[in-house]
Amino acid sequence: MNGVKNMQDNFRNPNDLVSQIEQLTKKTAVIPSLEHQLHTMKHREKVFRRQSAIFPSASSLDVSKAKTDNETVSKLTVELERVRSELERTNEINMAQKEEIKRQNRKILDLSTKPQKLVAIFQEEMQKKDELIRKLNDEVVDLRGQIRVAIRVRDFNKDPSFNFQITSQNEVKFQQNNFSNVFAFENVFQPGASQPEVFDDIKELILCALHGKNVSLIAYGPTSSGKTYTMRGESGDEKKGVIPRAIGFLLEQSKRELAVIGWTYNFDASFIEVYNEEVFDLLDDKKKLEMKQTTTVGSKKIPIKDMADVTDLLELADSQRSVATTACNQHSSRSHAIFQINIDGVHKSGETVKCCLNLVDLAGSERAKESGAQGKQFTELTKINQSLSTLKKCIRAQKTKMPHVPWRESKLTILLRDYLGAGSSKTMFIAHVNPSDASETKRTLEFTADLRSTNIGKATVQTGQ
Ligand SMILES: Nc1ncnc2c1ncn2[C@@H]1O[C@H](COP(=O)(O)OP(=O)(O)OP(=O)(O)O)[C@@H](O)[C@H]1O
Ligand SMILES: [Mg+2]
């Protein structure tokens, strides 16, 4: 029992084990010398006995010497036995220790390979999760086969001439005189909805851009309904809009989840505006840009590595965008602004994606009478209303499958064409309403009904080739 206990004690402290082994080695080294001494003594005893027989008158000196030798022999024999039994016991301990060391070594080996195994399992699960999300997302979009529409409702003063009601998470009701209709949406953002809440509901769509789909988010609505507030937002973390949140989200996703499963991404951004039917580069001193098919030629592209790049870029664009104080809005956008992030992704398997995310803040429709616009502002207003009306015409033409869709009638529709019909992409309109104004609210709701029934076909992955 004691031996076992000693063994257990020895295993507890590796230093004790080492010192025991050292002691044992020293003791083992003594054995040959003890054996040699014993052998010599035995030999001398034999010689003495023989001499005693031949010379019985041996001196008392010899007798006492022989006695001493005898005692030494006995002591040495006892000592040798003790050392031998200790050696046996220590050998047993040694064997047990060797077994234990082997066991510990196996454990260490197992532990050292465990993290690699876990990482491999984790990566595999992430890959599966990623594939499932892509598949589900595609299925949902294919089933819908149309432009998605959400609506964001601003705080409003109730106007007794009409009734506007948010009836559910997906529906609003509009009633005026004999007109009464319920309009359905992917999402209804109530007046109290915060910027993070709005972004949370659309980020799944933004993720599709990392999966290789062209994605567009378009803020639509009358002047002062909150389009710029939604897309650009205001200062302070809580009030940040979709544009800075989307870039933060893309950077975060690409550096974390997607990096784990082997994707590497590069982003660059351009920011242009359509003002009075001309296209300007908001990142390049408002340089006027020429158009080629559905793209602008030579717009400046700024690489995005982190959020600091984005903050600088957005401040630059803010300082360049055409804004004016009108009767309806102190900071009214006088242009349609298109912020585009170009995404280049490459997977370790060699697969590539090349696509873009468009975040569009349209200028708002307004009526000349109410806005009190004159001169330059009147021209702006006319151009804004014309391009928005072309946008509506194009969508209606698509809806009714007309042979001709008037894309070329405005710069805005030329630029958005690939995201509204001809190409394959995922598009979401966020319609904004300020239900203090009956006719603007009704017009916006009717436009969204057209949008929802417009089929834009199946989204396909844009590869780098
Ligand atoms: N959901 C909201 N919560 C808080 N403030 C809002 C909200 N929506 C709009 N606002 C405020 O209303 C004002 C007008 O909003 P914004 O400039 O975004 O309108 P807009 O639709 O872009 O108008 P325009 O077409 O004239 O450019 C801003 O001062 C903005 O802060
Ligand atoms: Mg605006």
**CA 160 to each of CA 163, 176, 369, 394: distance values in angstroms, whole numbers, following the listed order:** 7, 10, 22, 34
Q: Is the Cβ–Cβ distance between 225 and 430 less than 8 Å? A: no
Give 233 Cα–ligand 1 centroid separation in angstroms: 9
Residue 108 pLDDT = 82
Neighbours of 122 (CB within 10 A): 12
Q: pLDDT tens across 181-227, in order? A: 999 998 999 999 999 999 999 998 898 899 888 899 999 999 999 99
Whole-prediction pTM value?
0.73
The ligand with the least distance to the CA atom of 189 is 1
Q: Is 421 in the pocket of ligand 1 (CB under 6 A)?
A: no
Q: pLDDT tens across 259-273, in order? A: 888 999 999 999 999
Q: Which of 434, 349, 370 is nearest to 127 (CA)?
A: 349
* Cβ neighbourhood burial of 276 (10 Å; 0-12, 13-18, 19+): middle
Q: Ligand 1 pocket test: pick from 152, 166, 198, 228 the residue with the most ligand atoms within 8 Å of its Cβ.
A: 228
Residue 36 pLDDT = 82
Give 309 Cα–ligand 2 centroid separation in angstroms: 23
Domain residue extents for the chain: 2-119, 145-452
Give 398 Cα–ligand 2 centroid separation in angstroms: 27
Q: Is 148 helix (H, G, I), strand (E, B) or coil?
A: strand
pLDDT band for position 10 (cuts 50, 70, 90)? very low
Q: pLDDT tens across 390-432, in order? A: 999 998 888 788 899 999 999 999 999 888 754 567 889 999 9
Right CATH number for 145-452 from 3.40.850.10, 3.40.462.10, 3.30.1050.10, 3.50.50.60? 3.40.850.10
- Residue 92 corresponds to which tokens in the numbers above? 């047993």
The ligand 1 atom nearest the CA atom of 361: 22
- As a whole number of angstroms, the distance between CA 363 and CA 335 comes to 5
Residue 454 has pLDDT above 80, yes or no: no
